[in-house]
Structure 1
């Protein structure tokens, strides 16, 4: 009796000195947050512990039976401590002269997982026993089993059966087969040894042990166990574990952490619904890889696509390899867009009264600068000047630089800079003549968003990454709706679109891309000085996309024009990303008229004009004179009926 009293005093002293609490600590299991795409598919799990809590009704019965059979066959019969199990484990350990079985019940393991550390001390063991009794007193067996299944560690960073099922089999715990359930149930005994990715033979051997226990407990028949052992297993991670849109997910996480704090984001079980479309993201990655796979390993590229009407970011690639560089070039790389910036200048020109048929001459010209220097623009390629007139539509189709600089000089660089800023560019837009050639830095996301104004009839859609955020209880923390603003008239937007459609037509700088896109589209190439940066930007009525290719260090050059390296990425993405979308044509405003004009004079084309193209005009601004340069005698005959009756 005296010894027992002394033992109790010692235990009590240890308990009180260890900060013991007579009640169960607050039950607050860290919960993974999940990013979803526009269709509710999981994009990425955000966690310090990879854990997704599920109810017992969301777990395969095979998995439940497997765990009870191998971990605690008397779970539903004992009151937290299984003395028989403890004795059996002790005998096994003595026979093997090492710790083989721990003898802990499922309730004991749950107490340890929820409230204690993994240290092996007397104090921890005493706490574990006491919390075990409290768990059994306060919760039902099913509730305890559910806690256990959601907290047990499976290796590879996976906590709980749902995360484990997705980590090893890329499926939900509810869909696991008998063979898969038996393999998973065997992992927690020694996660590092029974990891099927690392040691599939050991994992398979442990699966056999679990199946034998299930047969012994009458959970399955011997024939079922044999079939399960013969079933081939395919180990693969669910896409949300590794993440199919790492740059996009990182951008979302950064925003959430700044707003809610890291603990809420990584442990709070948030549900983050976004506008990303995993099908489009896959299309982006395929298009990206097809072009970049054989290029210099240091060459980078970024792609971002937004819904032209809602502004939802549908796909994003911020660089070649997220594991090597987390710098998101789609949103953070400010680079000169080159001629891809010209559509905004031409939009201002239309606003100022110019038309698609207005002409400028591409020839030698000088512009004295305030600092005493002289600016002499030249054209792209081997021929610095064409020494002929261009209509504005043809000038943007062939990306003539001299015409664009002259046009900027005519409307005024300061006016152009102010006009461009309203399209959502956050960097410094410098009011200089060379702004016509895209010498101010912008990001791919800004370019894709700015072009929605032309794709969407003059209404720009601001980019939106997150649609809605819910906490673990389903309460809405924030919600974002499309934010739109009218920047230009529908007529202005359509005329620019008509011009940019010409870029993809014969004679345009991207005519080779039209067949790749396979639907009505508008676009613009961009190549900066000395081929440092290559761009392609463009859109359909539903989708706007910008692609940049270049080096992080601007001392290196791409040595290819935008249409040849960024263009194929853009075109292949647009084709595949639009496969499930209906083919749409750009709507023509009621006040627009399309006529054929002579490309040399900008006047109404005659049958004798050698180069003719269709151009869009606001009614009343179209040319009303026939081309006098290419008129034949037949064109001079009045359009009257002639009677050839004999």
Structure 2
């Protein structure tokens, strides 16, 4: 029987081919359906195509000083946007060669690349080559996590295909170069060029471009700061791939490999942290955190970097000197010097003035050996003598006691951990000075009175220790620094610098039964009838209280408001002694009105803000207000010039410029002030503790604040032209008897030249029969020379 006949006898045998076909079709259908379902599931929640056109990378907000220098940055990702036409071609070629050679040929998914990577990895027995295209990497970076799951990979492929439909290849490449992470906080190729080479993109050469192109695969692994040899090998690999792709010749690749890479970070120096934080808070309040940290704003400020450095140095120097006068608090702690692990010496010596922790390793009579940050040096006995003032743990600052020091062994022993600074490196011998970090705080505010621009601001000894900005936020009693406002009110009310005021004991009843207030002078004595000039020059308390009583508290308060004082003011006679708390910014700006011939301008820090498209979205507009007459402003300025020439501020005479200013000291020496100005710069200094601790019995404004002011202003004015205070047309000069405040009939020992506003010059000479010590006679003197 033939086979065909046998098969024909079994009908079931003819059904197998049909069943097999149905099975294949069913399995294929299920596979296709499953794939579609899986793709649909994986694609759920993916961004729409439109969002790709609206994509904006997170950009740095840059803050500029008054000279255009970048002084600070705000960002989530440190990125500098670089258009593709600004990226060197050899850098583009390097990225394509190492990341995606067929980038311009595939539709977002490179099948041949997958086969090539699979074969390479199988042949080499590991994962040595990836198959993700640049488009896939961009999709993952923009919209997906880095988790290694099948669903994420499918979503990545779908997004890559979408992006290739919506965007051109150049757009994808530009987005990739600006989005990808290059390590050490650098996002995007523009930021990477600065981070590693301190260059702009146009300055990069081929070896540098090849190095940067190799980083995105593993930025931490290939960091030259962590492993230079590995980073160099990665660069050589990139150059080899460029030669294979015919972007460069083998000879050019070899030449680039042999070129030494020189890395140079271009970091943004941390300048003016208190100022920068105030700017940041303003921007966040005005535009929101997202715009500030991602929007790429350009912020132009009023800060002068040189003046800022001078201010920070003056505060640190002055507070250290004050801290040493208060006394040494002893070693920080005690450790076993033999247990200290040796450190490698630093490549560079610490910055001058930087405080280091060091451990005492040996003590002799005349010197101490110190190990600090890997450096070995000595402290001579003469550089420790300030520590003769010792503070026990339970002593107050004012209770510090002097102890005679004849040997370094009286102060230190091996194992003591102390603070030091480098004094010198003479004869290859490192010399330290004994230091300690001050507990006392201070602040400086420097304003251009002609514009209101804040040129320098220091809000405390150390921003890392305390971010509280004492220049703007600390409300403290100004003491006698408030007196010029009272005397300016008197001048504005028709009095003159020659007007007499009585400096004599006076007692005021207080609201509490049986309690009285008796204002006293610093010298604990009284001087009788004196001119307003004399009263201000020597800061006579009793005379100022009487003057305030005559003027009325309300009039002084209203005048203060016109100068820009916003803080609440006491409505009693204690205002004469500066009992009402105000900020350093307020009083510095108020003095600035006097410096600017009575014109008030609101202090400001931001000149202009631009968005990422260079559109101006904020600009400071000047709005000067004539709140005080030029004559009154000049008269109070002339009186405060006397404070510096022969009064409580005479230490500032060493600057050698026309200056006016006033000291301020509060009860129990809790606050020390000096506020003063040249025609082109107004500066205020405050020194004190954040609490109610005393600075010490000798720490008046002249002793604690004025040295800081003098150091800063003396340096800051060097860059400004010498100017004199302009004399308004309505000012007259006349010879008077300073004992009586009236015109002289003939010159005497007490004759002086005084300034007056037009129409206020005394019309009669001094009465020869008047006894200047007879307080009652002065109540009867003629108008023009007497108190009213």
TM over 0.5: yes
- Displacement of 1:600 in angstroms is 4.3
Partner of 2:485: 344
Q: Distance in 2 between matches of 1:375 and 1:524?
A: 25
**Per-residue Cα deviation, 1:490-531 (whole angstroms, up to 9, x for no partner):** 0000111111222221x2222222333x53222222221122
2:711 paired with 1:572: yes
Shift in CA distance, 601/315, structure 1 to aligned 2, threshold 3 Å: same
2:667 paired with 1:529: yes
Partner of 1:286: 313
* TM-score (structure 1 length as normaliser): 0.86
2:441 paired with 1:300: yes
Shift in CA distance, 58/519, structure 1 to aligned 2, threshold 3 Å: farther
Task: Tell me if structure 2 keeps the 8 A contact 1:74–1:82.
Answer: yes
Instruction: Please list every run of 5 or more consecutive structure 1 residues that lacks an aligned counterpart in the other structure.
Output: 630-646
Correspondence 1:133-152 to 2 at 5 A: 133-152=161-180
Q: Distance in 1 between matches of 2:201 and 2:122?
A: 36
Q: Which moved more, 1:1-10 or 1:257-266?
A: 1-10
- Displacement of 1:459 in angstroms is 1.1
Residue aligned with 2:661, SS: strand
Residue aligned with 2:443, SS: strand
Correspondence 1:67-216 to 2 at 5 A: 67-83=95-111, 85-87=113-115, 89-90=117-118, 99-169=127-197, 171-176=199-204, 181-196=209-224, 203=231, 206-207=234-235, 209-210=237-238
Q: Distance in 2 between matches of 1:377 and 1:532?
A: 18
- Displacement of 1:91 in angstroms is 5.5
Q: Distance in 1 between matches of 2:120 and 2:674?
A: 69
- Displacement of 1:378 in angstroms is 1.5
- Tell me which of 258, 268, 292 is aligned to 1:238: 268
Q: Distance in 2 between matches of 1:100 and 1:418?
A: 79
Task: Tell me if structure 1 keeps the 8 A contact 2:196–2:263.
Answer: no
Task: Tell me if structure 1 keeps the 8 A contact 2:198–2:264.
Answer: no
- Displacement of 1:205 in angstroms is 5.6
- Tell me which of 641, 649, 655 is aligned to 1:510: 649
- Displacement of 1:565 in angstroms is 3.3
Task: Tell me if structure 1 keeps the 8 A contact 2:96–2:103.
Answer: yes
- The structure showing larger relative contact order (alpha-carbon pairs under 8 Å, at least 6 residues apart) is 1
**Per-residue Cα deviation, 1:541-578 (whole angstroms, up to 9, x for no partner):** 22222222222222353662223333233333334444
- Tell me which of 8, 29, 34 is aligned to 1:10: 34
Shift in CA distance, 269/236, structure 1 to aligned 2, threshold 3 Å: closer
- Tell me which of 587, 592, 599 is aligned to 1:447: 587
Higher alpha-carbon Rg: 2
Task: Tell me if structure 1 keeps the 8 A contact 2:195–2:264.
Answer: no
Residue aligned with 2:182, SS: coil
Shift in CA distance, 75/317, structure 1 to aligned 2, threshold 3 Å: farther
Shift in CA distance, 22/331, structure 1 to aligned 2, threshold 3 Å: closer
Shift in CA distance, 473/193, structure 1 to aligned 2, threshold 3 Å: same
- Displacement of 1:460 in angstroms is 0.8
Task: Tell me if structure 1 keeps the 8 A contact 2:503–2:528.
Answer: yes
- Displacement of 1:96 in angstroms is 6.9
**Per-residue Cα deviation, 1:67-86 (whole angstroms, up to 9, x for no partner):** 34443344445443445554
- Displacement of 1:330 in angstroms is 1.6
Task: Tell me if structure 2 keeps the 8 A contact 1:166–1:238.
Answer: no
Partner of 1:621: 760
Q: Distance in 2 between matches of 1:406 and 1:538?
A: 25
- Displacement of 1:430 in angstroms is 0.7
2:475 paired with 1:334: yes
Q: Which moved more, 1:594-603 or 1:451-460?
A: 594-603
Partner of 2:519: 377
Partner of 1:543: 681
Q: Which moved more, 1:198-207 or 1:184-193?
A: 198-207
**Per-residue Cα deviation, 1:468-509 (whole angstroms, up to 9, x for no partner):** 33333344434331232221100000111111222221x222
**Per-residue Cα deviation, 1:419-461 (whole angstroms, up to 9, x for no partner):** 2122222221012212122111111111222222111111110
2:693 paired with 1:552: no
Residue aligned with 1:330, SS: coil
Q: Distance in 2 between matches of 1:607 and 1:232?
A: 81
Shift in CA distance, 409/21, structure 1 to aligned 2, threshold 3 Å: closer
2:72 paired with 1:44: yes
2:23 paired with 1:23: no
Q: Distance in 1 between matches of 2:197 and 2:728?
A: 53
Q: Which moved more, 1:418-427 or 1:331-340?
A: 418-427
* TM-score (structure 2 length as normaliser): 0.71
- Tell me which of 60, 68, 77 is aligned to 1:32: 60
Shift in CA distance, 21/141, structure 1 to aligned 2, threshold 3 Å: closer
- Displacement of 1:16 in angstroms is 1.9
Residue aligned with 2:472, SS: helix
Shift in CA distance, 155/514, structure 1 to aligned 2, threshold 3 Å: farther
Q: Distance in 2 between matches of 1:314 and 1:564?
A: 25
Correspondence 1:357-436 to 2 at 5 A: 357-372=498-513, 373-380=515-522, 383-436=523-576
- Tell me which of 724, 741, 745 is aligned to 1:585: 724
Partner of 2:462: 321
Task: Tell me if structure 2 keeps the 8 A contact 1:167–1:238.
Answer: no
Q: Distance in 2 between matches of 1:627 and 1:93?
A: 109
Task: Tell me if structure 1 keeps the 8 A contact 2:445–2:585.
Answer: yes
Shift in CA distance, 129/333, structure 1 to aligned 2, threshold 3 Å: same
Shift in CA distance, 91/612, structure 1 to aligned 2, threshold 3 Å: farther
- Displacement of 1:123 in angstroms is 2.0
Q: Distance in 2 between matches of 1:186 and 1:611?
A: 85
2:598 paired with 1:458: yes
- Displacement of 1:320 in angstroms is 2.5
Q: Which moved more, 1:417-426 or 1:22-31?
A: 22-31
Shift in CA distance, 46/612, structure 1 to aligned 2, threshold 3 Å: farther
Task: Tell me if structure 2 keeps the 8 A contact 1:24–1:134.
Answer: no
Shift in CA distance, 250/14, structure 1 to aligned 2, threshold 3 Å: farther
Residue aligned with 2:216, SS: helix
Partner of 1:53: 81
